[in-house]
Amino acid sequence: SILRRRPHVALLCSPGVGHLIPRLHGFSVTLLANPLGSSAAIPPLLPVDGLPFRFVPLPDTPPDAGPPTQSSSPVPRIVRAVTCNLPHVRAALDSAGPPVDALVVDMFSVDALDVARERRVPCYMFFTSPCTCLALLRHVPALHEAVRGEFAGPVRPPGCAPVRPEDLLDSLRDRTGEAYAAILRVTRRFGEVEGFLVNSFEELEPGAFAALNGGEARGPPVYPVGPLVRTGRVEPGEECLIRWLDRQPPGSVVFVSFGSGGTLSREQTRELALGLEASGHRFLWAAKSPVEGRAHGAFFGGRNGPAAEYLPAGFAERTGGVGLAVARWAPQAAVLGQAAVGGFVTHCGWNSALESIASGVPMIAWPLYAEQRMNAAMLADEAGVALRPQRLMEGQQGEALRTRTRLLRDAAARAVAEGGSSFRALHDLANKWRLAAH
Ligand code: UDP
């Protein structure tokens, strides 16, 4: 028949706002989302204009699902939530209308490979961190066998730049922890996927892509498909921020935000406030209530009190007109797209980094948790678009960084534009799925 059915892709996401960003044109898409009481709202599900799209919220993990976890890391909880929901994934695949031609999971959802296999659906992974990080994670099972005790020296994923032990993912730093066990378990299954779709692009981390796809590489192919970033949507009530930015000179404002989950301690919050004030630079700060001892405190039900409770006394009055501290949430992608923004103090969550690069805004790296220290090292030392906390807004180093970031902004735009490297990679894959559908 000439009437061909639209290929159907199911995307399975573990909790966390940052993971909900993939887009696929010309497909019909089912998004299966694990909530896990994430405090962050599910973002507007982007470019779905005209896309047959079905959203299947999966149930929150029942409180009696297995023993309570002792880990301070969210990873074991996330993996468990996904595993508990596999029967719902199976049911959703079976009832998804047209048959599913590909299942795309994220790194915490690899257990869904079993469901994919039962249903004879090829399973791919959408990797929401840099390719550099994928290279490290692919190496984890081998590393586990080769090294006893803590990772003391630099870790060298084959063909990649060495990773300093202090930059390793939180979960890898304590090998006796539940988080380590969870990471080991998921990374051992990485080799079973048909391919990795990485939300990054070749020009940003050419070394890592070459290492994973080059002649000597073994394992599933790696497709650079990014940067896929959220659109700069501004919700009602947020326009005043954009209007404020509109009134500031180009490149003059430092934007400060630690993602949907990142939190500082009381002491760090105070230091940051005093630092911003002393710098005299204009700033826009998406401030959150401090949480002691947990860099990812806001993810799972953190509360956010009024800024006056945790900012130094008189801060708002003294910085009025120069800076703006908003409680908790700013329309980040839109903010980064404003000409007034000249720098971004970020926790280096990968979506934040990509949004910054896509807007040509250089970063000051203040990594907090998960793989963020590794992202920071790559952004600063390899890609040349970030500084460790230093003088970004002044001096020559800042200027060089701005130039480099703009170059990569243009490269990013080319990569996802028609005919670009990421565009082609995603297209090749889509064609494969299309063929499978017919
Ligand atoms: N974000 C936002 N406003 C905020 C904080 C975060 O819009 O005040 C968005 C940001 O644009 C990004 C996502 O939330 O798309 C955060 O993802 P990222 O991977 O950077 O960090 P995570 O929240 O996963 O730590």
How far from the centroid of its chain's Cα atoms is residue 233's Cα?
A: 18
* pLDDT attached to residue 66: 61
Strands of 341-346's sheet in order across: 323-327, 282-287, 253-257, 341-346, 363-365, 386-387
Residue 95 Cα to ligand 1 midpoint, Å, equals: 32
Q: What is the pLDDT of residues 5-33, one digit of tens each?
A: 778 888 888 765 444 444 566 777 787 87
Residue by residue, DSSP assigns 401-431 as: HHHHHHHHHHHHHHHHSTTSHHHHHHHHHHH
At residue 72's C-alpha, the angle toward residues 386 and 68, to 5°, is 150
Instruction: Compute φ and ψ for 99, nearest 5 degrees.
Output: -60, 150
pLDDT at 209 over 90: yes
Average pLDDT over residues 391-402: 79
CA gap 258, 421 in Å, rounded: 30
User: What is residue 346's three-state secondary structure?
Assistant: strand
Residue 104 Cα to ligand 1 midpoint, Å, equals: 22
Decide: 74 and 98 in contact? Cβ < 8 Å: no
pLDDT at 343 over 80: yes
User: Which residue would you say has higher pLDDT here, 102 or 232?
Assistant: 102
Decide: 105 and 112 in contact? Cβ < 8 Å: yes
User: Which residue would you say has higher pLDDT here, 116 or 306?
Assistant: 116
CA gap 330, 337 in Å, rounded: 13
The separation between the first and the last C-alpha atoms of the chain, rounded to the nearest angstrom, is 10
CA gap 92, 70 in Å, rounded: 32
Quick one: which atom of ligand 1 is closest to the CA of 286? 8
Mean pLDDT across the chain: 87
Mutation test residue for ligand 1: of 13, 14, 17, the one with most atoms within 8 Å of CB: 17
Interface predicted TM-score (ipTM) of this complex, two decimals? 0.99
Which residues are near ligand 1 (CB < 6 Å)?
Answer: 16-18, 230, 257, 259-262, 286, 329-333, 349-352, 355
Active-site positions read 19, 106
Quick one: which atom of ligand 1 is closest to the CA of 336? 11
Quick one: which atom of ligand 1 is closest to the CA of 352? 20
CA gap 258, 365 in Å, rounded: 10
Task: Say how many C-beta atoms besides its own lie within 10 A of residue 236's C-beta.
Answer: 5
Residue whose CA lies nearest to ligand 1 atom number 15: 351
Mutation test residue for ligand 1: of 332, 369, 373, the one with most atoms within 8 Å of CB: 332
Residue 38 Cα to ligand 1 midpoint, Å, equals: 13
* pLDDT attached to residue 18: 42
Residue for token pair 């990421």: 422
Residue for token pair 């973002």: 43
- DSSP lists the bridge partners of residue 282 as 253
Residue 363 confidence class, pLDDT cut points 50, 70, 90: very high
Residue 333 Cα to ligand 1 midpoint, Å, equals: 9
Quick one: which atom of ligand 1 is closest to the CA of 346? 20
How far from the centroid of its chain's Cα atoms is residue 40's Cα?
A: 14
Average pLDDT over residues 77-93: 89
Residue 18 Cα to ligand 1 midpoint, Å, equals: 6
Question: Checking phi first, is residue 136 left (phi over 0); if not, alpha (psi -120 to 50) or beta?
Answer: alpha
Residue 237 Cα to ligand 1 midpoint, Å, equals: 18
Decide: 60 and 35 in contact? Cβ < 8 Å: yes
- DSSP lists the bridge partners of residue 271 as none
* pLDDT attached to residue 60: 78
Task: Return the structure tokens found at 256.
Answer: 């400060």
Mutation test residue for ligand 1: of 170, 260, 354, the one with most atoms within 8 Å of CB: 260
Residue whose CA lies nearest to ligand 1 atom number 8: 329
CA gap 184, 26 in Å, rounded: 36
Task: Say how many C-beta atoms besides its own lie within 10 A of residue 184's C-beta.
Answer: 16
Element (H, E) at 342: strand 341-346
pLDDT at 399 over 70: yes
Q: What percent of the chain has pLDDT over 90?
A: 61
pLDDT at 155 over 60: yes
Residue whose CA lies nearest to ligand 1 atom number 5: 259
Residue by residue, DSSP assigns 15-65 as: SSGGG-----TTSEEEEEE--TT-SSPPPP--S-TT--EEEEEPPPPPTTS
Task: Return the structure tokens found at 208.
Answer: 């890592």
Average pLDDT over residues 366-378: 95
Element (H, E) at 137: helix 131-146
Quick one: which atom of ligand 1 is closest to the CA of 355? 11
pLDDT at 236 over 80: yes
Nearest to 281 by CA among 213, 345, 218: 345
pLDDT at 224 over 80: yes
- DSSP lists the bridge partners of residue 124 as 104
CA gap 353, 175 in Å, rounded: 28
Instruction: Compute φ and ψ for 123, nearest 5 degrees.
Output: -115, 125
Residue 67 confidence class, pLDDT cut points 50, 70, 90: low
User: Which residue would you say has higher pLDDT here, 219 or 293?
Assistant: 219
pLDDT at 43 over 60: no
Residue 291 confidence class, pLDDT cut points 50, 70, 90: confident
